[in-house]
Each structure stands twice: as C-alpha cells, then as structure tokens.
Amino acid sequence: SQQGEEDPQALSIQEGENATMNCSYKTSINNLQWYRQNSGRGLVHLILIRSNEREKHSGRLRVTLDTSKKSSSLLITASRAADTASYFCATDGHDMRFGAGTRLTVKP
C-alpha cells in the first residue's frame, strides 16, 4: 500500500511558470524525499527533508514540510520543458512508501 498521496495527479503549465505539487501522508516520519521520473526510466532523487526541518532549497527546487498537517510541497520555479516528468514523494515511516505521483507537463 502507498502512504504518500500527491496532488494534483496531473499539472500542465507553460515554460517559465512555477509548478507546485503537494504530498500528504498518514503516519509519522523521519524524513520525506522527492523523486523525479522521466517516462519509462528509473527515479532520480531530488531532495530529502528531515522531520525537524521546515524548508529546504536546491537550485530551482523548494520543498516545505509541515509535520503537524502531515504534508509537504515541492515548488519548481521558472520551469523548463526538461522538467516534464512524474514527481513522487516518499516517506520512510516503517519502510519506504511512494505516492502515485504528479505528472507535470511543461509546454515550450
């Protein structure tokens, strides 16, 4: 069973716009991670945020974590066509659980 739930399921934006994806989870965690998957490929790690952190940045990525609401968000600023991919959150809890993902399409 999957613990993380991403929202929205699909998102379509124009190049240059910002993209925001949300993740909700059910049980307590030690850390939450975001991954990207290009079509038919393996997943690539983007960022890890620990339960005692509230915000983390990496290049054009900004991740927030609200443990009281059991939710996280991933913001991609100034999106590019190459950002087109599926994005997954993963929580550790008892074991690593991935959500169903947000499918992001960035139109040139």
Partner 1 sequence: EAEVAQSPRYKITEKSQAVAFWCDPISGHATLYWYRQILGQGPELLVQFQDESVVDDSQLPKDRFSAERLKGVDSTLKIQPAELGDSAMYLCASSLAGLAYEQYFGPGTRLTVT
Q: Summarize as ranges the residues that interact with partner 1 (CB under 8 A).
A: 2, 4, 30-31, 33, 35, 40-45, 48, 88, 92, 94-101
Kindly tell me which of 59 and 108 has the beta carbon lying closer to partner 1: 59
Cα 96 to chain centroid, rounded: 14
d(CA 63, CA 31): 12
Output the smallest distance, CB 15 to partner 1, in A: 25
Q: Minimum distance from CB of 75 to partner 1 (Å)?
A: 19
The pairing of strands 31-37 and 19-24 is unpaired
29: which strand partners? none
C-alpha atoms less than 13 angstroms from C-alpha of 10 in its C-beta half-sphere: 2
Q: How far is the CB of 16 from partner 1 (least distance, A)?
A: 28
- Minimal distance in Å, beta carbon 97 to partner 1? 7
Question: What is the spatial distance between Cα 86 and Cα 34, in angstroms, rounded to a whole number?
Answer: 11
Instruction: Tell me whether residue 70 or residue 97 sits nearer to partner 1 (CB atom).
Output: 97
Which one, 69 or 95, has the nearer CB to partner 1?
A: 95
